[in-house]
Structure 1
Amino acid sequence: MTNDVLEGVWPAVTLPFSDTLALDEARLAEHCAWVVESGCEGVVVNGSLGEYEALTDGERAAVVETAVAEIGADRVIPGVAGKSAAEARRWTDHAADLGVPAVMCLPPTSHAPTGAEVIAHYTTVAEVGLPIIAYNNPWSTRIDLTPDILASVASDVKLVVGVKEFSQDVRRVMHILDLMPEFQVICGCDDVLVESVMMGARGWIAGFANAFPEQSVALYDRSSAGDIEGARALYAEMLPILRWDADPRFVQAIKLGQELAGRYGGPTRLPRLPLDDEDVTQIRYDTERALSAGLGPADS
């Protein structure tokens, strides 16, 4: 890590479930180790890709503890989303006890909160004392953390130091940085990675890095180095599959991508259902295209 709370590529890891839909902690540990060994900086656990809403409290705690035990606390950022501020703070307390460097937190998910309620929510979570990456996902929450709202939150809650930006509007990167030059904007949507980094995003909480971490790291590195030609060439091969990260079936798509890459993906828990044959065919084609993308000697 640098002074930024998160830099480089951090997969939001999927969770391996057995055929009976039991959490497989051994496979989770192995997966976390593999993506780090493949060049990723660390992992984000208990995000939307990690199906946190389908977990029991015991499973959700075990996910964080398993990742920390396998790759070290400094490489793990837990999602602490909760319907209430008390719930989000409870998960932040758990994260702090394990020694992680920061947490990722949605606004309250119980209702469409006012701006003042968003600030109150993050104020409560910040009482634990850990840096907070706000998570803007207007597609699955009831509020859009616009640049103006983020600026108000960061002004009142100093420990909110960055945002995982998933609005899919790359214009926001520079807007946020115009308002808060020291704030860290982190790309949270795979299919706007290159544009976001070139506009000033510093970090990528990635989905398909679960399937092909080496290609993902190469794409991020080329983008952050300003290698427009190299980034564009690799992006052209990866973009068709990366677009699935913005689809409601992204969890199933990424787990299938893992299987196609020779990794264990496994099933999803309800309410997510298996993909239909047409989607499987398309994801197979898109994944194979990304996996065959050429990496130069400096990137492999």
Structure 2
Amino acid sequence: MTMLDDAIYGGVNAAVLTPMTPDLAPDIALMAEHCRWLLANGCDGLGVLGTTGEANSFSVAERIAVMEGLVEAGIPAARMMPGTGCAALTDSVELTRRAKALGCPGVLMLPPFYYKNPSEDGLFAYFAEVIERVGGGIRVYLYHFPQQSAVPFSLGLIDRLMRAFPGTIKGMKDSSGDYANMKAMIDAFGAEGFEVYSGSDEFLLRILREGGAGCITAAANVNCTAGGRVVAAFRAGDEATAEAAQAVLTATRKVCTSVPLIAGLREIVARATGNPGWRTIRPPNMALKAEQVAPFLAAFDATGIGGLKRAA
């Protein structure tokens, strides 16, 4: 058995986009359609309400409505990892409790990100308070994204949290782009069942080979078919197919990050579905400029990903 087989969210997880109505409210029906497509086209799980899902542009009430609405629309809670980390401790508790009640196995938690350079004791106290108030029964995946949060997780803090809350602190999404950091976590904690997920598509095959659990990525909204091929080929021991699919993943990631990522992904999905509503985005994020669109889509098509066109 590998970590891929043992992990709760092992494999490819999309950091799911949140479509919006013209008045900038979450479009839950359209999001549910997208989630169904993702699960049918290579995704093993759904990271909803994360960075790509613009969670920190939404209120707690809006985020709860998205979680509840997706489950009511038939999206399996067992496949969802909602983002519940907020600057306010009580907001994190409320969101995590709701995810637990809905039946989500785990949540992804940013550190409290407003105050910079918090002490390790302060971060430990924050997570300890959230976990104790929620009362257990749901796993916590830490979200390491220092470029965005400016609050990194050290190996020492992870170790301390794991010792204090065994079985609850279950893994990490590492969006730093620093593979050495991902490997250090695998080496330090992988034998204890700590699931390490790359936030960068280009590391999927490597992290699977070296004991990680998979990926949770933005580009999986549009390249999950290739990600699914990587995972299937890895399981089958088909190195050539895995390498070829990984090359497509890496190429698509490079193109998607050549423009503002969320806006670019929305353009690809809008074209694939024929639904221009996918371009609606909540400020301060903005849609791509008209002159950016054609060259961006041409570069994406040149990766050879294919297979994205679907009904609106």
What TM-score do the two structures reach when normalised by structure 2?
Answer: 0.85
Q: % of aligned pairs identical?
A: 27
Q: Which residue of 2 aligns with 1:11?
A: 14
Equivalent position to 1:22, from 21, 25, 28? 25
Q: Which residue of 1 aligns with 2:310?
A: none
Query: In 1, distance between residues paired with 2:291 and 2:203?
Result: 25
Query: In 2, distance between residues paired with 1:230 and 1:149?
Result: 38
Judge which range, 151-160 or 45-54, deviates more: 151-160
Q: Which residue of 2 aligns with 1:178?
A: 187
Query: In 1, distance between residues paired with 2:66 and 2:131?
Result: 22
Contact 1:238 1:289 in 2 (8 A): no
Query: In 2, distance between residues paired with 1:44 and 1:237?
Result: 22
Q: Which residue of 2 aligns with 1:297?
A: none
CA deviations 1:96-133 (Å, max 9, x no partner) are: 11121111101112212221122112212222211101
- Partner of 1:10, secondary structure, is strand
1:88 offset after TM fit, Å? Answer: 0.8
- Partner of 1:77, secondary structure, is coil
1:137 offset after TM fit, Å? Answer: 0.4
1:106 matches 2:107:
no
Q: RMSD of the alignment, in Å?
A: 2.4
1:211 offset after TM fit, Å? Answer: 1.9
Contact 2:9 2:45 in 1 (8 A): no
1:14 offset after TM fit, Å? Answer: 0.4
- Partner of 1:204, secondary structure, is strand
Contact 1:212 1:261 in 2 (8 A): no
1:291 offset after TM fit, Å? Answer: 4.8
- Partner of 1:163, secondary structure, is strand
Matches within 5 A, 1:265-280: 265-277=278-290, 279-280=292-293
Amino acid at match of 1:285: A
Equivalent position to 2:164, from 136, 156, 159? 156
CA 1:137/1:177 → structure 2, altered by over 3 Å: closer, same or farther?
same
Amino acid at match of 1:65: E
Query: In 2, distance between residues paired with 1:6 and 1:192?
Result: 16
Q: Which residue of 2 aligns with 1:115?
A: 120
Q: Which residue of 1 aligns with 2:252?
A: 241
Q: Which residue of 1 aligns with 2:82?
A: 78
CA 1:226/1:201 → structure 2, altered by over 3 Å: closer, same or farther?
farther
Query: In 2, distance between residues paired with 1:142 and 1:203?
Result: 24
Judge which range, 149-158 or 20-29, deviates more: 149-158
CA 1:219/1:257 → structure 2, altered by over 3 Å: closer, same or farther?
farther
Amino acid at match of 2:140: I
CA deviations 1:33-79 (Å, max 9, x no partner) are: 12112232231111011111111332211111122222222111111
Q: Which residue of 1 aligns with 2:58?
A: 55
Query: In 1, distance between residues paired with 2:255 and 2:162?
Result: 31
> Runs of 5+ in structure 2 lacking a partner?
308-312
- Partner of 1:261, secondary structure, is helix
Judge which range, 86-95 or 246-255, deviates more: 246-255
Contact 2:24 2:280 in 1 (8 A): yes
Equivalent position to 1:133, from 118, 127, 141? 141
CA deviations 1:130-182 (Å, max 9, x no partner) are: 11010100011121223343223323332111000111111223211221122
> Runs of 5+ in structure 1 lacking a partner?
295-300
Query: In 2, distance between residues paired with 1:145 and 1:64?
Result: 27
Judge which range, 206-215 or 166-175, deviates more: 206-215
Query: In 1, distance between residues paired with 2:173 and 2:217?
Result: 10
